[in-house]
A and B are shown apart, each in its own frame.
Chain A
Amino acid sequence: MAYYNIIDYITIATTGNAIDFGDRTTSGAANQSIAACASSTRGVMGGGITVNTMDYVTIASTGDATDFGDLTAARYALTAAASPTRGVFLKGANVVHTMDYITIASTGNATDFGNDQVGPAGYQGACSNGTRATMGGGNGASNIIAYITIASTGDATDFGDLTVGRNTPAALSGSA
């Protein structure tokens, strides 16, 4: 098995092959089962097997990542979502309920957000509309969707069900 600390980029409005952006600060299995969130300018990557590290890049540039700070716990198979200013790292296969948040524009360690006791532990997908983050699927082929309000630090609430329960869906949000 090989682990990759590489970062690729694409121009979303076009099609075509990805281009090398730079490298993460991490090595080995710390690059597996990670998650990321972003503002319009900065992307923050965190977690992995089995680390609590976060690093960041300026998306409009290219170049290697820089250390951001630490999550409150080492997490892998976690997921992440963001508002324009706040990023949230959610749960993980080894962290059953807790979530962390960061201020994307700064650097520093993450802070406890609240708990998600609605959905399963890890292997979820998460997306946001800028104010609310939704987390779906996950460990055990869950069909549960839960949500949090990103600007708060409150616990997750049930949203509804996926059409098919599954592990590790990708999640994204876009214009309706």
Chain B
Amino acid sequence: MVNRSGVWDLRQVGVNEVNQLWKVPPPLNYGARGIFVGGYSASGVPLNVIDYINISSTGNATDFGDMNVLTKGQNGGLAGGSRGVIGGIHGGDGVGIINNISYITTSSTGNASDFGDLTQARDQLAAFSSGSRGCFAGGQG
């Protein structure tokens, strides 16, 4: 990224305009840190655990934090830049499917926070993103 401070002459302005150096790059829909969120145990218990790995290496996962709601999994995760978003949550027996969307900051560690709601409570959906826009598709409820 160029240094935008100081006084620029017209040649410098032209070079930066031609090469689109003014623009901040859009967030990527992938990153170096892989994160696994929630799920359910062999006995069917919903979990709020979040793990992370460094994808370019190998080795065991490390604790990241906790989901803000228990999630039996069957949900979708997507990301843009340093934000990860999870939706399509099944809260386990007695709770059922909820329309919560949660988010985390992937570059830190810590617990998830509330993002908002899906238009329709459902799970077993798919999630994907462009980096700036995230989509949740399909599902059942």
Contacts and interface: CB of A to CB of B under 8 A. Distances in A.
A134 B62 CA distance: 15
A65 B117 CA distance: 22
Do most interface residues of chain B lie in helix, strand or loop, or is the interface mixed?
Answer: strand
The list of the 8 closest CB pairs from A to B, nearest first, reads A174-B106, A166-B39, A168-B73, A172-B77, A36-B126, A170-B77, A31-B138, A12-B80
B85 interface: yes
Interface string B6-45: 0000000000000000000011111111111111111000
A9 B115 CA distance: 13
Interface of B: 26-42, 47, 49, 51, 53-56, 58-63, 71-87, 101, 103, 106-107, 114-120, 122, 124-141
A108 to B, nearest CB: 19
A32 B133 contact: no
Contact of B30 (A4, A125, A129, A140): A129
Taking residues whose C-beta sits less than 8 angstroms from the other chain, chain A's interface range is 35 or more
A89 to B, nearest CB: 11
A26 B36 contact: no
Nearest to A174: B106
Given A158-B58, A176-B32, 7 more contacts: A10-B101, A18-B118, A40-B29, A40-B131, A129-B55, A165-B41, A167-B73
Contacts of A175: 28, 31-33, 81-82, 106-107
Given A10-B85, A10-B116, A160 B53 contact: yes
Contact of A59 (B31, B40, B117, B128): B128
Contacts of A162: 36, 51, 60-61
Interface string A49-75: 000000001011000010000000000
Given A18-B117, A18-B119, A32-B124, A12 B132 contact: yes
A17 B119 contact: yes
Given A18-B117, A20-B119, A171-B34, A12 B129 contact: yes
Contacts of A169: 36-39, 73
A171 B52 CA distance: 10
Contacts of A161: 60-61
A92 interface: no
A173 B34 CA distance: 4
Contacts of B28: 40, 130, 175
Contact of B130 (A38, A48, A136, A137): A38
B137 A36 contact: yes
Contacts of A17: 116-119
A91 to B, nearest CB: 15
